[in-house]
Chain A
């Protein structure tokens, strides 16, 4: 099975940088995904790492280290609209997906 750990809450200042960590324990691993969910909304896909290293998409970057069973999501130039919950997710197989419990990010002025 899969188990993913991430902080429950993070607070950061508008314009700053924040890093949300995710550690995982798995009997099989294909890659690490990140999703964003605003209150009352559906999760939306942010990024996916299958290989070690950093993937950058605009203000968001995601990192994976398979040897450390660790990844993180980096949000730069924080905006108020980035206030949301962020979930890491890992697949045991190609399609079986387990999510972390989520990190609630609050961006303050």
Chain B
């Protein structure tokens, strides 16, 4: 099946700094990618839809100035958490749709803000 990678798998940053997470489709092109956040023992919450060559669409309640999304090519979308705070510590997962019934998920990035 199609492969989606994320980098880094785990990042620790200090409060107030920014961190960038990359999501790549390795063997297919993705005009759309999704970014999710998952807190411990909770489900995946969709944060935004990333569209190649256009602005991302954010879900209600997600601060677009804090979570910057760039989908500059058909294989790469990036999520930048700006001015990170401890409450932003979470597991961030990206995905790309394949068939109508399947999304290919990345392995996730664990963000810890100290």
**Do A and B interact with each other, yes or no?**
no
Instruction: Mark B residues whose CB is within 8 Å of A.
Output: none
Binding site for B on A (CB under 8 A): none
